[in-house]
Amino acid sequence: MTTNYPVGITRRSAWLRMIGFHLFLLASLILTLFPFVWMFSTSFKPSGEILSGTLSLIPISPTLEHYRNLFGAVNLFVNLWNSIIFSLVLTILSVILNSMAAYAFAKIQFPRRERLFALLMMTMMVPGQVTMMPVFLILKYAGLLNSFAGLIIPGSVSVFGIFLLRQFMMDIPEEILEAARIDGCSEIGIFWKIILPLSRPVIATLAVFTFIGAWNEFLWPLIIMLKESNYTLPVALANLNGQYNTDWGLLMAGSVLVVVPVILVFLTAQKHYMKGIAAGAGKE
Amino acid sequence: MRNDIFPASRCNILLKRLICLFILLLFSILPGTSRAGTEEKILQFWAMGSEGKLIRVLADRFEKENPEAKILVQAIPWTGAHEKLVTAVVGNLAPDICQMGTTWMPEFEAMNALEPLNSRLNLKNGLSEADFFPESIKTARQNDVLYGIPWYVDTRVFYYRSDIARSAGFNKFPETWMEMYKLCSEIVKAKRQANQPGYAFSLPINDWQIFLMFFWQAGGELFPQAGRETVLSIPEFGKTLEFLKRFIDEKLAPVAAGKDMDLLAAFESGYFPMFISGPWMISEIIRNKPALEGKWTTARMPMDKKYTSFLGGCNLVMFKGSPNRDLAWKFVDFLSRPDIQADWYELSKNLPANRLAWKDARLAQNSHMHAFREQLEDAKAPPCVPEWEQIADVLSGTMEAALFGKTPSGEAAEAANRNIARLMRVQPESMGKTAIIIAASAIFLLPLIFLVIFFRTGPGDGNRSHRTPPGMVLFFLAPAIIILVVFLFIPIVASLFASLTNWNLYGLSDPSKVNFIGFDNYRRLWEDPVFWVSLKNTLLFSLLGVPLNITLSLASALLLNRKIVKFKALFRIGFFIPVITTMVAVAVIWRWLYNPEFGVFNQILKTIGLSPLNWLSDTWLALPCLIFMAVWKGFGYNMIIYIAALQGIPESLYEAAEIDGANASQQFWHITLPMLRKTSFFVAVMTTIGYLQFFAEPYIMTGGGPLNSTISVVLYMYQHAFKFYNLGYASSIAYALFVIILAMSIIQGRIQKRLEGSV
């Protein structure tokens, strides 16, 4: 650790610097965590306490009332299962399809490649809200309404994902691929054995983003699904609101329920951010 | 040689696992097999929000009485209800019965989606129109055709602290405007003397419902005569604005009214001893503020010429084309029965629309209810016109502008009259048939021609040493391209076509009413001041937000990538948490931070001796406030991308640099930054596009206000698409934005190229 510092700096001042640095990080952390902690603590406060007008962080008389109500109000396991299926399948599909396309755009030569890519980029500039109605009608004619296929397929390829992965893959040295080709490796082999492992951090990033996007999606599942038993968690939770009044405790308990799985996914993806194979392979 | 780095066996195990998991998941997403035809008749019933849960109790009772019926209730959240209903009507998938807010009725009538109910009503021993409040039945009628049955009603009354009013010398709530004004001044005077904070009255300054009540009380009318240039009573309009403005000017009411959770707390502390609200507030106060028992009550509106309040609520409607209309009616009839209506009040606290239900002890003996019962006799619903949402928007905007002191009341009344009259004007004539065919084919040919030219003029692709067989290219590209063509390219061309039509609510369920109007939408856009304001806001937002976001995310990624940092995972997730925290929770906290009275920011300003600011209610500050919040919420996203990219920089480069004696800043400028070039390009492009499509923050925090100072292009487009149903116009807004983003990206790309060679 101390080898990082130029010679001449004593061990002690290095330690002091390190502590100061961590205190700074900790302060920033508190700023970013505040709403999250508030959401968490509110879900344990009785309603009267929530509406007391002061936003205290620690519940005075903690209660599990809202979580109990949540189980009564929502068909929790069905909605949770729907959300898991939707987000997980979409994430897997999106990683596969986007990384294949990104590989083609980054490392395979074919006519008009740059133009095709520019065309894809242009589509990102059209706000998604305008295409909602046409996509809905296409799904209707395809008979995919009220099904998970209809929910998943339209979002499984994203120009964002292709762009993100392509930018990363372009930096993978051409020499590695050339060497593999000389060794008789097929394009599929190169993709599977070289490109994918080297792109692990960015694929993990895409997976996290896709998962979060799907997990929090509200309007699309609501419109596509015609049965309540097909609702995902955010849609089911939105039903807890009245037109004018809000049960804050219940709402926050629901929000906690929505956020926790996302954190788990993020922590899983974290592991792929370690320097390892990527750094080793770059040496050549 | 590389096989020792990537052992084949490991890859294969991973591959197998993935495939197994995928097949498993695929099976679970296949559409469920439909059940074989049952003898039961299934009724689809859509109800909104929490009512969708509560109605189950009554549905069960109905099923017991009618064993052949099976009621399938689907709860639709209020937040997405408009979108859900519109897509259902367009897709011909509407339910048998649906709950519908009274102000939505004309829209769906205009879409020709609702079933007329006249023949089912007023039969012997059956339900009759006279059973309901007359104003309420008016909301369901259009040209003498009845399209719905009132389910529950809702009106607004005053909630006030009787103890505070008494100490101001009022033993009962004032009957007239002048007395009410006097009560407010007395309360505030007493507060100033006792050096207490607060106001008399929480008056939302951009709420058309509140405005309409007072307008009606002043004797004003909307559409006093059919088909005239004057669509509202201008003198009364001005008088109402003038009256309400006094409350703001004399600090009897703040520009930022109570919202969310602070309203109840402020009611308890006496900060806002008076506010206007609906029946749901009774149970909220009883449940959450038991200490207030005996210190508050409800009161009918004060009068200028009348005591009128606003009438809202929901009707039950049946959709055309439902196969079970008789059974559906039976259920509607059941829900309208006085005893069921009283039960429904007990379940949901919604006020019965059937007047007979009010004789029930549960309603008749509730003292807080008396004001509502009294008020319902003099409550008015807004006029039934399909363009209502847009008119309401004009009313809210006018109220806001006048109360802020931006426009004098008289002028504001004239302007409101002009704007509403323009909205009601007839649609432009459509083109002839041949013109439509030419235009329609042109619109499909144009993208095609564009594509051909676009691809022909592309830069030549230098031939590399090896050639990939076309089959391989297809293998990698085809799946993605097919999905993109079907679900992205085709919809984009379709919406581009829509931008050249007058596709509005009349054409939603009847495509024959959609007319091709050429570039009229774009011409209208050019002259639309709100569009230009929204464009200015959007550009300002991006100009300030994008650099802030990128700097902050890169800085935090670099910090967290340093070797000396312990608990990396903890800090990463910590900075990422705003990205994943629900917008609802974030909005609550930030509204509290920005709260003019209790908020943290103003507390800080006060401590260091500066005067407090109005943050979100200030036309200058609101946008920077939203930018700050958006950057805070979003920087973790780009930080993660940068962290991933930093992993791709080979360690060997730094080691070599260290041997050469390069210090940390040299390493940053000569290794890190160049190696992050492609990622930075990605981040810059994506962030710019994202910020130019800025939507969620103003949508949730400010709704575009105050005075449109935070409205963004996408929010404006969204309002036109799903609030006003001007789908054609909304599409033209989207493509105007598209051209602007495209231009900016080209410029960005040029700059990028000039700075760093090719990308």
DSSP sequence for chain A: -GGGSPTT--HHHHHHHHHHHHHHHHHHHHHHHHHHHHHHHHTTS-HHHHTTS---SS-SS---HHHHHHHHHS-HHHHHHHHHHHHHHHHHHHHHHHHHHHHHHHH---TTHHHHHHHHHHHTTS-HHHHHHHHHHHHHHTT-TTSHHHHHGGGSS-HHHHHHHHHHHHTS-HHHHHHHHHTT--HHHHIIIIIHHHTHHHHHHHHHHHHHHHHH--HHHHHH--SGGG--HHHHHHTT--SS---HHHHHHHHHHHHHHHHHHHHHHHGGGSSSHHHHHT--
Q: Where in chain A is the domain with CATH 1.10.3720.10?
A: 68-281
Q: Would you say B158 and B301 are in contact if contact means Cβ atoms under 8 Å apart?
A: yes
Q: Write out pLDDT tens, residues B192-208.
A: 998 888 889 888 888 89
The answer to whether A108 contacts B468, with C-beta atoms less than 8 Å apart, is yes
Question: In A, residues 169-198, which contact B (CB 8 Å cutoff)?
Answer: 170-171, 176, 179-181, 183, 187-188, 191-194, 197-198
The answer to whether B80 contacts A109, with C-beta atoms less than 8 Å apart, is no
Q: How far is residue A45 from each of residues A67, A238, B67, B89, B606, measured CA to CA in Å?
A: 11, 20, 43, 42, 30
Tell me if domain B41-155+313-380 and domain B157-310+384-423 are identical in fold: yes
Q: How confident is the model at residue B31 (pLDDT cuts 50, 70, 90)?
A: very low
A79 interfacial to chain B (CB closer than 8 Å): no
B648 interfacial to chain A (CB closer than 8 Å): yes
What pLDDT does B757 receive?
55
How many beta-carbon contacts under 8 Å exist across A and B? 401
Mean pLDDT by 10 residues, chain A (284 residues): 48 80 86 84 84 74 88 82 93 95 91 88 87 88 89 93 92 88 88 90 91 89 87 85 76 86 84 53 35
Is the model more confident about B176 or about B446?
B176
What pLDDT does B274 receive?
93
The answer to whether A219 contacts B484, with C-beta atoms less than 8 Å apart, is no
Question: Would you state the CATH architecture of domain B530-756?
Answer: Orthogonal Bundle (1.10)
A251 interfacial to chain B (CB closer than 8 Å): yes
Say yes or no to pLDDT of B6 above 50: no
Q: Write out pLDDT tens, residues B443-485.
A: 678 778 888 887 777 655 555 545 677 888 889 999 999 999 9
CATH 3.40.190.10 at B41-155+313-380, yes or no = yes
- Mean of the pLDDT values across residues B150-179? 92
Option in B461, B463, B486 nearest A113 (CB) = B461
Instruction: Name the residue ranges covered by the structural domains of chain B.
Output: 41-155+313-380, 157-310+384-423, 530-756
CA distance B449 to chain A (A): 14
What phi, psi does A171 have (nearest 5°)?
-80, -10
With helix as H, strand as E and coil as C, how does B340-354 read?
HHHHHHHHHCCEECE
Question: Would you state the CATH architecture of domain A68-281?
Answer: Orthogonal Bundle (1.10)
Residue of B nearest to A46 (CA): B288
What pLDDT does B550 receive?
95
Is the model more confident about B426 or about B334?
B334
Q: Write out pLDDT tens, residues B354-408.
A: 999 999 888 888 888 889 999 998 999 998 888 888 899 899 999 999 998 888 9
Option in B72, B78, B477 nearest A243 (CB) = B78
Other C-beta atoms lying within 10 Å of the C-beta of residue A65: 16
**Closest of B161, B132, B123, B117 to residue B298, by C-alpha:** B161
The answer to whether B581 contacts A259, with C-beta atoms less than 8 Å apart, is yes
Which CATH superfamily groups domain B157-310+384-423? Periplasmic binding protein-like II (3.40.190.10)
A103 interfacial to chain B (CB closer than 8 Å): yes
Question: In B, residues 442-471, which contact A (CB 8 Å cutoff)?
Answer: 451, 454-455, 458-459, 461, 463-464, 466-468, 470
Q: How confident is the model at residue B432 (pLDDT cuts 50, 70, 90)?
A: low
**Closest of A265, A94, A102 to residue A168, by C-alpha:** A102
Say yes or no to pLDDT of B257 above 90: no
| Average pLDDT across chain B, whole number | 84
> pLDDT > 70: what percent of chain B?
89
